[in-house]
Amino acid sequence: MKHEQNEDVTLVTGGASGIGLALTEGLLESGHRVLVADVSEENLEALRSKAPATQLRCVHMDVSDEQGVRAVVEDSEACFGPISGLVNSAGIGRDVAFLDTDLDYLQRVLQVNLVGTFLVGREVARCMRQRRRGSIVNIASVSGIRGNAGRAAYGASKGGVITLTKVQAVELASDGIRVNAVAPGPIETPLVGRMHTEAARQRWVSDVPQRRYAAPAELNGTLAWLLDDKLSSFVTGQVVSVDGGFTAAGLL
């Protein structure tokens, strides 16, 4: 069912695949105007035909490029619409044991997952502050909460995102901006498909009380709730795990 179109814009980084794509499709279906930023031109091109240009704008952006991020945000504010919501879902990673993790890989993961979340959040928050309203949702991970094997780089980056979220929430509350994080468990995304071997998949399923991976769209309800200033107006600085019970589980 289509809904009346909103004037404000939600920026979704990494919005052309995985969790970001599922959210983008859900927001479009609900009548939201969406700015999708992604590094994959192929994925962006495939997405452009899903909605008119007045509702959906797709732009190439590397979240770790400070000047590029600033240019995209400024252009959107001037030519597309005010950004009232941000979901930082761009991310990279793969399973590498701690002793096998080289410095180049560690720095690249931190640059995209943590620094990228910082840069986009900072530029968008500067615009939101002028209007004294806005909601930012950072995609973290249960690997930023639990010590999952093979996640030295990825887990460190997502743990940093969780702390960043809390600092942002505290500092931006007086500006009318809420900041929260969502920590997904195992989700059937292209990134997870590359990260999880068959053996890893079996371990994840055995450790998740619901005994399965989730579809990306199963995060949409939580993300939409956190973005909505009416439904979650007193919620900020929180980390919501959407993980089938993984972080709550003890012996199974």
The tens digit of pLDDT for each residue in 51-77 reads 999 999 999 999 999 999 999 999 999
In a domain, 3, yes or no: no
Query: What CATH number does residue 201 fall under?
Result: 3.40.50.720
Compute the average pLDDT of residues 179-197: 91
| Amino acid identity at 200 | A
* pLDDT tier at 191, thresholds 50, 70, 90: confident
Strands of the 56-60 sheet, one edge to the other: 56-60, 33-38, 9-13, 83-88, 134-139, 177-184, 239-242
Range of the domain at 141: 9-244
DSSP 34: E
* pLDDT tier at 3, thresholds 50, 70, 90: very low
- pLDDT score recorded for residue 250: 72
Q: In the beta sheet, which residues pair with residue 134?
A: 177
| Amino acid identity at 97 | A
Compute the average pLDDT of residues 127-148: 97
- pLDDT score recorded for residue 197: 85
Q: Which residues, in sequence order, are CB contacts of 2 under 8 Å at separation 6+?
A: 29, 31
List the alpha helices (DSSP H) in the chain.
18-29, 41-48, 66-79, 103-109, 116-131, 152-172, 190-195, 198-207, 220-227
DSSP 231: T
Evaluate the CA torsion angle 68, 70, 73, 74 in order and state its sign: negative
Model pTM above 0.85? yes
In a domain, 13, yes or no: yes
In a domain, 250, yes or no: no
Compute the average pLDDT of residues 239-249: 96
Mean pLDDT of the chain: 95
Query: Cα 195 from chain centroid?
Result: 17
In a domain, 79, yes or no: yes
Least confident piece of the model among 22-26, 146-150, 163-167: 146-150
Q: Which two tokens stand for residue 184?
A: 């997904």
Q: Does residue 1 have a pLDDT over 80? A: no
Radius of gyration of the chain (CA): 17
- pLDDT score recorded for residue 34: 98
User: Per the structure, how many domains does the chain have?
Assistant: 1
What DSSP line would sit under 90-107, residue for residue?
------B-GGG--HHHHH
Look-up: residue for tokens 């997405």?
47
Look-up: residue for tokens 């901006």?
177
In a domain, 65, yes or no: yes
Q: Please list the active-site residues.
A: 154
